[in-house]
Amino acid sequence: MIMSSNSYRESLEKLRRKVYIQGAAVADPMAHPLVRPSTNAVAQTFALERQEQYKELIFARSHLSGRPINRFTHIHRSTEDLMNKVRLQRLLGQRTGTCFQRCVGLDALNALEITTFEMEQDLGIPYHHRFNKFLQQVQDENAVCGGAMTDPKGDRSKRPHEQADPDLYLRITGENSEGITVRGAKCHQTGALNSQYIIVMPTLAMREEDKDYAVSFAVQADAPGLLYILGRQPSDTRKQEIHRADIGNRDFGGQESLIIFDDLFVPWERVFICREHRYTGRLVERFAGYHRQSYGGCKAGVGDVLIGAAAALAELQGVDKAAHIRDKLVEMVHLNETLFCCGIACSARGRASSSGAYLIDLLLANVCKLNVTRFPYEIARLAEDIAGGLMATMPSLADLEHPQLGPLLRKYFQGIAGVESTCRLKMLRLVENLTLGPAAAAYLTESMHGAGSPQAQRVVIARQADLAHKKMLARRLAGLEGESS
């Protein structure tokens, strides 16, 4: 079923969830001003389906049914699929200027497809069969899936089973002939309130003593036992203002939640890992790799918006011809395209797994994400440099409508002649939104910690680097073959 943006919103309104926003229970979160912009961003993934020029990117062909499906429900079957994913993510970053929230679920689906295939081959348990039934339903419904991996973790020096409170990592608390019961929480859940299903994965490679924490499953987003608490973002109350120009990005935004699992029951047909701890490391590494690839697309797309805003401000302020401004814009483009290059490169170097799904090159995916922990911050710094201090000090744009204040603001905030000063002020608000305001959570903080902190990428890069091979190359050219180290 191909949904429109409106039917997607209507499907969310039918969900009956326990949601809290700023200390108050909210019966209809979709109508809340702190949530609505993020729903608009997800809805763009449905709006693209109606636009002919984007059909190559937004649609893929299901390996299960052979039908065209939304790419955010697709299992990659070629390097072209992997590259089209990154291209689509860049496009959506450009269109929304924020996080559009379907990437985590897509990456979870692909990581689970490979891992459950291996588990069924090795163990004889029909995990892959269960997963494919769920996947078929997701594809038929064109459903939005939220991927839930990050646990609160408590004392980071201790393993899950060593925690003073055993619920600080999500765990299995019961099991019977019908399914399992779980308890715990998942943090930083991007787009949780805009998801129709929640896919849960372990947050790290588990050991035998942590086997109760080795669990993966999928549930409907309004399953009994789920509680959502909306997270705060910088300047998020701007979204509640009547004068929408002060938001910076009038239509779109991101959203994260804490999800609490209070003795949630999961039927066996939706359980994909149950105490098989040996497979958790594979799942975590694959999911992380796919999601680190994703950042080469979405962050480049948002970067395009920020670069465009900085270039527009330079022109509006009459400094676009200055050599140092041109140099800064070129540096911003260079950094942004490097992110995109890494996303494309790890996709082009992808290979088929045993299930037939294509996995990215893990080394290059981690190089991509490590660059993402740095480059957007420099792009944002340069954008703030070009924008100037007025970005963070100008009065409300509502003052422009005041009969006495409006003319004064237009007079004293005028840029180049012939262009209304409101153009400059609105562009400044957009830069503020991306670098200091609500979108900064998606563009900057998420760049640092999303899909793992910088150290997580360094660990994988060290493991994948094959230094022994590099030393052999150097020894051969230095004439040291056969010599002891």
CA 360/CA 352 separation, integer angstroms? 9
298 is annotated as an active-site residue: yes
Task: Determine contact, residues 457/373, Cβ cutoff 8 Å.
Answer: yes
CA 291/CA 294 separation, integer angstroms? 5
13 is annotated as an active-site residue: no
CA 441/CA 359 separation, integer angstroms? 28
Q: Among residues 8, 197, 290, 295, which one is catalytic?
A: 295
99 is annotated as an active-site residue: yes
- At 268, phi and psi to the nearest 5? -55, -35
The helix/strand/coil state of 1 is coil
Q: Which helix (H) or strand (E) holds 378?
A: helix 375-387
Residue type at 279?
Y
CA 100/CA 40 separation, integer angstroms? 9
Locate 407 and state its tokens. Answer: 């003319």
Q: Among residues 285, 291, 342, 443, which one is catalytic?
A: 291
CA 314/CA 336 separation, integer angstroms? 19
- At 215, phi and psi to the nearest 5? -150, 140
Q: Among residues 49, 99, 169, 368, which one is catalytic?
A: 99
Residue type at 67?
R
Task: Determine contact, residues 154/15, Cβ cutoff 8 Å.
Answer: no
Locate 229 and state its tokens. Answer: 């608490």
Largest CA-CA distance found in the chain, in angstroms, rounded: 86
| Residue 476 CB burial class (10 angstroms; 0-12, 13-18, ≥19) | exposed
342 is annotated as an active-site residue: no
Q: Among residues 103, 274, 342, 368, which one is catalytic?
A: 103
Q: Among residues 190, 203, 280, 373, which one is catalytic?
A: 190
Residue type at 281?
G
CA 207/CA 213 separation, integer angstroms? 9
CA 270/CA 101 separation, integer angstroms? 22
Q: Among residues 256, 276, 285, 432, which one is catalytic?
A: 256
Concatenated DSSP letters of 255-320? -EEEEEEEEEEEEGGGEEEES-GGGHHHHHHHHHHHHHHHHHHHHHHHHHHHHHHHHHHHHHTT-T
Locate 211 and state its tokens. Answer: 């086997």
Residue type at 74?
H
- At 299, phi and psi to the nearest 5? -70, -30
Per DSSP, 245 falls in state: G
103 is annotated as an active-site residue: yes
Q: Among residues 145, 274, 298, 342, which one is catalytic?
A: 298
280 is annotated as an active-site residue: no
The residues assigned a catalytic role are 99, 103, 190, 256, 291, 295, 298, 446
